[in-house]
Amino acid sequence: MSTADHLLEIRQLEVAYGGIRAVRGIDLHVGRGELVSLIGANGAGKSTTLRAVCGLVPLSGGDILYDGKSIAGAPSYMLVRQGLVMVPEGRGIFGQLTIEENLAMGGYSRNDAEGVRKDTEHVFELFPRLAERRRQSAGTLSGGEQQMLAMGRAMISRPRLLLLDEPSMGLAPLMVEKIFEMVRTIAAEGVTILLIEQNAKLALETSRRGYVMESGQIILEGLSGQLLDDPKVRAAYLGEEEDAA
């Protein structure tokens, strides 16, 4: 894959909090139309990486290119208008607003009311549970339904690149399956996705390629199937013992 095919390219990214280097010179890329996973333990620097891409934390070094142009230092609202959208860990829904009102927030940067209406109906087709409860307060939804809502709201922003931060966190297994079914559906519609997920097996089974992050650094990368078969990945992230050499 040539550099011109990269929708997102992270070059030697550094992020520090005080004197602590949370991200240490990582390189990562996501091709147009790809679904790529970034796995690792808690505190590895995964969410910090996404927040840097979205303009929510400043870079200490390196660069981030989106569609071939540097976006280092760009405000997050400008990135949303350019199609770079994140579904944050914890979902970030507005509990006092209805499902419809939350979805409308996804279209705040658009000026095509008819397009927003059509996209809202498409979200209701993707997530029938939301359609059934469209006038219900979002705060009364289950965790899985709130995750559906957060993903639906992001889709109404018409993302070219969707960043998903721990979409399965705190959800029951059956709901996790439904959420990941939706991730695959969204990817099949042509949306490029960078997925952060603690469930390494599920993330790698869903994605085309993967990166493994540890202590702020990328320690492994490759096709997801190869990473699933890697003894170190199996031992560290899939709960399987590494074969003795």
Give the pLDDT of residue 240: 63
Q: Work out the end-to-end distance of the chain between its first and last CA atoms, rounded to an integer number of angstroms.
A: 34
Do residues 68 and 86 lie in contact, with contact meaning Cβ atoms separated by under 8 Å?
A: no
Q: Which residues of the chain have pLDDT under 70?
A: 1-2, 240-245
In this prediction, residue 245 carries a pLDDT of: 37
Predicted local confidence at residue 242, as pLDDT: 52
How many whole angstroms separate alpha carbon 1 and alpha carbon 8? Answer: 13
Cα 40 to Cα 227: distance, rounded to the nearest angstrom = 12
* HEC string for 49-90: HHHHHCCCCCCCEEEEEECCEECCCCCHHHHHHCCEEEECCC
Q: What is the pTM of this model?
A: 0.92
24 phi and psi angles, rounded to 5 deg: -120, 80
Q: What pLDDT, on the 0 to 100 scale, is given for residue 2?
A: 65
3-state secondary structure 185-201: HHHHCCCEEEEECCCHH
Domains of the chain with CATH codes: 34-51+74-237 (3.40.50.300)
Give the pLDDT of residue 148: 92
Quote the CA–CA distance of 242 and 244 in Å, as a whole number: 6
